[in-house]
Amino acid sequence: MILSFTKYHGTGNDFIMIDSTKNADFSLSNEQISFLCDRRFGIGADGVIIIFRHKEYDFEMRYHNADGSMSFCGNGARCAVKFAQSLALFDSTAKFIAIDGEHLATLDGDLISLKMNDVKNYSLNEDHYVIDTGSPHYIQFTKDLAKEDIVKFGKEVRYSPTYKTVGINVNLVEVSSDNKLKMLTYERGVEDETYSCGTGATAVALAYGDTMNLTKINVDIQVKGGMLKVKALRKGKDFEAIYLIGPAVAVFQGEIQLPA
């Protein structure tokens, strides 16, 4: 089978986009997804996103991690919005459905503002937060990010008895003297460091807001692949009106022979 695709990235978080608007029954096996995401033998990506038509929404996005598992992906969703716009599924404002529910997004050139789901349940433990922003995240603040080994630390947390079965994304965060944030991420499903993570940046911003007792969050977060912005409102312990803002860029188009 010959598969047509478009490659996108959002601050270095890269995705294989597949247009399935004319084939509601299209699917890929976990083995095929792993092949496509392989950076030596396939196209190379952090995940695969398939776009379907939907009766009640502008489109549906289905995100698969590089190992085939499914979750929500913030950067992937922003790229999906940009790709769906190129398919003429909407004009400048989109309402779409993903694995974690409904989302809204607006576009301004390559900059996409994505509304995330409200966050009500999160925990602060001895030295870290656990926050689910569509995918679960472990967040720990550190004084010197340059000295950290995110892959080693990420694997220790992700494969610990607490998270071994379901998995968790792991983020290390440094707050500068002028309250600017930098982060590194280890992603489950990819099982490695990624250049960016949208749900992770969102979780980091909320953890920072809780730490600083902010009622209004508006932070820029430096990830390895660029800059993301997160805005949110905090009411009591709950977070709402959460927006992940950043670029989504088409890189190239192509065709590839899928293994059976």
Positions marked catalytic: 73, 197
Q: How far apart are the first and last CA of the chain?
A: 8
CA distance to 40, 88, 210, 233, per residue, from 239 (Å): 41, 33, 9, 6
Can you tell me the distance from the alpha carbon of 258 to that of 85, in angstroms, rounded to the nearest whole number? 26
Amino acid at 247: P
Residue corresponding to tokens 């959460």: 242
Sign of CA pseudo-dihedral 193, 196, 200, 206 = positive
Distance separating alpha carbons of residues 172 and 183, to the nearest angstrom = 6
Helix (H, G, I), strand (E, B) or coil at 208: helix
CA 75 to each of CA 148, 195, 196, 256: distance values in angstroms, whole numbers, following the listed order: 24, 11, 8, 24
